[in-house]
């Protein structure tokens, strides 16, 4: 039995809740302080979850599901791009890693939002640290896998005849 669009979007909502639960577990139980790029990835996970929840609640027809699905894919692509950026920073030799900059809280208080995005996406030394691995891969790798899964599953929901 195939799943409905609503059930598919519910699965995405639950996956996003699970991803955020693990992020909070890593922060508060494993004491892994998130860097600015990690925080942006969290924002993308939350955005994807909220969009999937809105699609679930709205329960639109075919065109509406395509619109919600397209927005969801865009949010996941943005999160995946940030994950890949952090993986690239982590792959740099130590002498090429950008210097650590001010914290995200300070940047948000003192700079316009666009400048904050620009500075954070350039990366800093703290974003290049690998503090945790699973199966030899760092957290941004697994976050990129998560986003790829969300994109793939959403594309499946959009492509099928339901």
Q: What is the pLDDT of residue 161?
A: 66
How far is CA 64 from its chain centroid?
23
How far is CA 99 from its chain centroid?
24
Measured CA to CA, the distance from residue 113 to residue 60 in angstroms comes to: 33
Please write the tens of the pLDDT for every residue from 99-140: 655 566 666 677 777 676 666 555 555 677 788 889 999 999
| Domain total of the chain | 1
Task: Output the domain CATH number for residue 120.
Answer: 1.20.1550.10
Please write the tens of the pLDDT for every residue from 69-99: 999 999 999 999 999 988 988 888 877 766 6
Distances (CA, A) of 35 to 82, 101, 102: 12, 11, 11
Q: What is the pLDDT of residue 62?
A: 77
Mean pLDDT is lowest, of 18-32, 122-136, 139-153, for 122-136
User: Which of 133, 139, 154 minimizes the C-alpha distance to 77?
Assistant: 154
Owning domain of residue 28: 5-159
Measured CA to CA, the distance from residue 48 to residue 72 in angstroms comes to: 5
Mean of pLDDT values over 27-38: 89
Which residues on neighbouring strands pair with residue 138, listed in sequence order? 133
Q: Is the pTM of this model over 0.75?
A: yes
């Amino acid at each position: 039995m195939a799943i409905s669009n609503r059930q598919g979007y519910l699965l995405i909502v639950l996956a996003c809740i699970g991803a955020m639960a693990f992020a909070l577990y890593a922060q508060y139980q494993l004491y892994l302080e998130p860097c600015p790029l990690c925080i942006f990835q969290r924002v993308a996970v939350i955005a994807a979850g909220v969009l999937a929840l809105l699609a679930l609640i709205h329960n639109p027809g075919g065109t509406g599901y395509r619109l919600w699905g397209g927005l969801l894919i865009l949010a996941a692509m943005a999160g995946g791009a940030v994950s890949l950026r952090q993986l690239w920073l982590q792959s740099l030799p130590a002498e090429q890693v950008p210097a650590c900059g001010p914290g995200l809280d300070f940047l948000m208080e003192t700079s316009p939002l666009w400048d904050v995005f620009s500075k954070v996406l350039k990366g800093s030394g703290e974003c290049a640290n690998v503090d945790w691995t699973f199966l030899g891969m760092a957290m941004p790798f697994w976050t990129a896998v998560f986003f790829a899964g969300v994109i793939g599953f959403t594309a499946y929901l959009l492509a099928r005849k339901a």
